Structure 1
Amino acid sequence: MYNFLKFYTNLTRTLTVDIGLQKLYKLRKPIKPYAFIRVHNEIKTIDTCFNSFLSCLSGGVIGFNSCTDGTKEYILDFCKKYPQFIPLEYPFDLIPPYDERYKEDIINERYRLDTYYNFVWEKLPKNEWIIKLDADHIWDTEALEDLCRLPVRKRDIVILSRMNVHCQNNIVYVNKINPIVEPGDSWILYNEDIKFDFYRGWEKKRFIAYEILYLPKRHRKIFSILANWHFPIVKSHRSTFNKDEWIPLREFDMKQYIKENKLEGRIPEHMLDENNILENFNKFNLR
């Protein structure tokens, strides 16, 4: 409660919300943000994903490019059914993040990630709340609605965490290195004069390159409870399941991980329930 009061009296710019503190927001009416979505060949997951967050949103823009698996057709049909969403096809192929081609000094900007992101971002309404969403997550709809109660001031930004999981042969696996992550690249924020930039460089002798959203220093960060599962292996271009990188959830010491990473009180028990995860995973179009 002390940190809660410090945050709302502007004595600190960060607030960590646990399950108990989240209850204090229950009487607040949730905002209904607009979705910022980018999709590429995700026909296996997209329908289940969209249905998990649809009721929490006012609408949004769905960017897509170079789709060959029926994702484009799905998006066009979805936007006809839900006209509050705008389909937006990017007409160029993209160089993926971390790609070695980004080492070159001369790269056509149309193939860069930040150009694509800004192409989609510019179609979103200004002076409205925006949530960044991907098409390989499943959200706990009620928990997402609760997260939408957290922004109070326009400079608030809610940082969204995710749990990296995969299911195979009715066994739930979590990523050994990053079972639960909060990298700051998924959020709810107010759309004022901001845009994506391009970053490339070296970290620990590893070349990195990706899009980045620089936020004004006046923004205040709210770190929230876990409300979604991320299923990266289901994507067609990541379909190789390397068991060396994953561990069955039942064998992973999640309590110790939560303690070591100071996540106490922020991971609802039902988000760690194997039957719950399997039930949701089986909603995917895996045929």
Structure 2
Amino acid sequence: MDLLALADFNLVARFGSFGEAARATERPKATLSRRITELENSLRLRLFERGPRGLKLTQEGRALYERTGALLAELADSAAAITSGGEQPRGRLRISAPVLFSHVAMGKLAATFALKHPEVRLEITTEDRPVDMVEEGYDLVIRVNPDPDENLVGRVFLRDRMVVAAAPVLTRRKEEPAVSAVLRRGDERTACWDVSGPEGTSRLSIRPVAHLSSLIMVRDMVRLGVGAACLPLSLVSHDVATGRLANWGDVEGPEIALWTLYPSRRLLSARVSAFLDHLKDAFPLGTPEELAAYAGSDL
């Protein structure tokens, strides 16, 4: 198989059109089109459907793109490392990270990584939705309790747990049927929390007073005594330590685990390996208290 033609195929597949690929690489559009046609003829497969709305990968084309795109990127990384005389991280590093973690830690992580590896160009997207790493061109994703995916491998680098936190002015009275609560949007059907503490597990009935889309906004309302809330320990541990908030106990439920994920069918590039090491250096123990301390400290 012609590797140059395969590289041109991956280029066009990534940009989604001959015109965009030609403009990005300053190569003739006709040359790219001819190379793709030659590749299709040699494979006896149609790789693109060509229509009035542009190009669309066929089923065979998508399979070829998913299996060869990462390998070609790895070849490029290896060539760059050889010509530069070492495995110095360089090039673009695209990362997708969840919203809350990005707000409390990714800015500092990105800054310290950039200072350490100036030849890496970071591109970080903040979102909670599951992303398609191959289709969307991510090198690394960070996710909370991700679903198993046979096409990805990864590791846990941080653990957290949910606690019920409230301002000291808000007390739990046995005579009250329910406590005022600030909830995150999506938890509208929640009627109670199972809370465990030194005295065992108890069920706490709640009366929602607000629904917010951000846990940071939820915490801010709780600080002002509006109600109690179920929040990650890392987000409130500093407030609990200083007496600004009270920890009523752990919420029964699955542990929160933050994972780094990357494609399993490729060797890790130097830049991905460097960022994984950077996370390990930042969170050697991977505890909620460690994340809280990292987010609250100066650069």
> What is the TM-score with the length of structure 1 in the denominator?
0.24
Higher relative contact order (CA 8 A, sep 6+): 1
Would you tell me which structure has more helix in proportion to its own residues? 2
> What is the TM-score with the length of structure 2 in the denominator?
0.23
Whose radius of gyration is greater, 1 or 2?
2
